[in-house]
Amino acid sequence: MYFLTLQDPNYMVKGSRDPLGFQVAWQGAGRHLIPELSTVSSSLRDFHIIGLANACKGEFDITDRDYPAFFLCLEQLMAYARLQKFAGEEGFNGIDRARKMMDDSRDHVEISVSNQLLSNQRSYGIWGKYSRPFNDMGLANDARFQQVQLQKLKYNPLLEQLVSQLAKKRGTSIKVKKSDVGALATPLSISSADERDCYIDHLLTDTCHGQLLDMVKSFPELVEMEFYERLDFIIDKAIDRKLAQVLFRIKNTERILSPLNRIFRYLQCKSSWTDGELASDEFIGAWAATFEGHENSYLSPEIGRLLGRDNLETVRGLVLVNETVCARRRSEPWMRFNAAGLEVNHFEGAFFSSDYDPMRNHDYTYFINTWFNLFKQLN
């Protein structure tokens, strides 16, 4: 016989993400090199679309009140265009619904705020992912960039006519023939050296006077490298000491965060551990042994000191960090020590791989992937 009662929400483990609070740490480290990109703002074509929308706002005198509706409609228009023109080459948010619309029996697609490509197009589409980087990087207020975007618009009279319609209709429905949408894709590619320069100036900046870009120009092999390989290469070759210093610190940050993360996820794989099991565990021991020194990382000494001691001390430290993080979130800790040893109460995200090599594998990206992704699309 089982007696089931509802869980008291106050005592449930509420936070299921980021049990050690590392997200803030790695992002903070990444921002020391790449200040404005995010991990999801990695499609140049999405930047083309937000750039075009921004230029249209000025050109057609669209008010702040009307702009979001206009934006969503333009995003829809461009979704059909890119689906038609670049089928199979790229994915984008909203591709499923766009495909369904394009494949139905009608000869036209309907563009309107009520025909959203996503359950919440504003949140999950280009607006949500790109507004912050686009504005922060200064593309929104770059006169030359706006000029370039308007030229692209003028170059495509059909698009210009549809866009002017959208600007007047304020998000109410317009119909576009499916046979026409492919022709609307011209602004989705780079049209001039001027435009490429604008993107390079804004998307590929760093905190070190563009030294990262200079390095990649000098050493194209960097593009295809793995995370640590890339860091080591630049640290070794960089003439600018600040760039080398920042990357060295990012490297040491990941050398600490990743093993700690893996150890915590590994602990989650079993519901209880005796002190003896923890003390003699080969994986915890091997992963923790890669400690290189936290003084040259972006981490606090409390986090930095967790590695490089005996297993039990490392695990006690991690449990304490989780407890502190959970206390701040007003939720229960995921594991706790009792008389018998360590007791695990929350298994979400449990993960173990015997192949993990702390010297080669990494868990966090520091926005470096995004930067290189965009670099590739600009070359």
Q: Which residues pair with 338 in a beta bridge?
A: 341
Cα–Cα distance list, 89 to 82, 84, 173, 278, 284 (Å) = 9, 11, 29, 48, 42
- Our finding on whether 128 is near DNA (CB under 7 A) is yes
Cα–Cα distance, 242 to 150 (Å, whole number): 38
Q: At what angle do helices 22-31 and 241-267 cross, to 10 degrees?
A: 170
- Our finding on whether 327 is near DNA (CB under 7 A) is no
In the set 47, 80, 367, 372, which binds DNA (CB under 7 A)?
A: 367
Return the number of the residue (128 or 182) whose C-beta is nearest DNA: 128
Window of 89-97, 162-170, 202-210, 284-292 that interacts with DNA by CB under 7 A:
89-97
Q: Please check whether residue 240 is in contact with residue 33, taking contact to mean a CB–CB distance below 8 angstroms.
A: no
Cα–Cα distance, 7 to 14 (Å, whole number): 12
> Binding mask 339-358 vs DNA (x if CB under 7 A, - otherwise)?
---------xx---------
Cα–Cα distance, 313 to 138 (Å, whole number): 47
Q: Please check whether residue 97 is in contact with residue 72, taking contact to mean a CB–CB distance below 8 angstroms.
A: no
Tokens of 164: 């002017």
- Our finding on whether 332 is near DNA (CB under 7 A) is no
Min separation Cβ 134 and DNA, Å:
8
Separation of first and last alpha carbons in the chain: 67
Cα–Cα distance, 7 to 17 (Å, whole number): 20
Return the number of the residue (97 or 242) whose C-beta is nearest DNA: 97
In the set 106, 177, 209, 328, which binds DNA (CB under 7 A)?
A: 328
- Our finding on whether 325 is near DNA (CB under 7 A) is yes
Window of 39-47, 106-114, 245-253, 314-322 that interacts with DNA by CB under 7 A:
39-47
Cα–Cα distance, 314 to 174 (Å, whole number): 62
Output phi, psi for 250, to 5 deg.
-65, -45
In the set 6, 8, 17, 282, which binds DNA (CB under 7 A)?
A: 17
- Our finding on whether 10 is near DNA (CB under 7 A) is no
Min separation Cβ 340 and DNA, Å:
26
Coil, helix or strand at residue 251: helix
Cα–Cα distance, 233 to 354 (Å, whole number): 27
In the set 95, 102, 150, 190, which binds DNA (CB under 7 A)?
A: 95
Return the number of the residue (95 or 286) whose C-beta is nearest DNA: 95
Return the number of the residue (128 or 341) whose C-beta is nearest DNA: 128
In the set 4, 7, 8, 91, which binds DNA (CB under 7 A)?
A: 91
Q: Rule CB under 7 A: which of 131-190 touch DNA?
A: 131-133
In the set 70, 80, 92, 375, which binds DNA (CB under 7 A)?
A: 92
- Our finding on whether 287 is near DNA (CB under 7 A) is no
Q: Please check whether residue 227 is in contact with residue 196, taking contact to mean a CB–CB distance below 8 angstroms.
A: no
- Our finding on whether 108 is near DNA (CB under 7 A) is no
Return the number of the residue (133 or 304) whose C-beta is nearest DNA: 133
Q: Which helix (H) or strand (E) holds 108?
A: strand 108-111
Residues binding DNA (CB under 7 A) = 14-18, 21, 23-24, 26-27, 38-41, 91-97, 118-120, 122, 124, 127-133, 325, 328-329, 331, 348-349, 364-365, 367
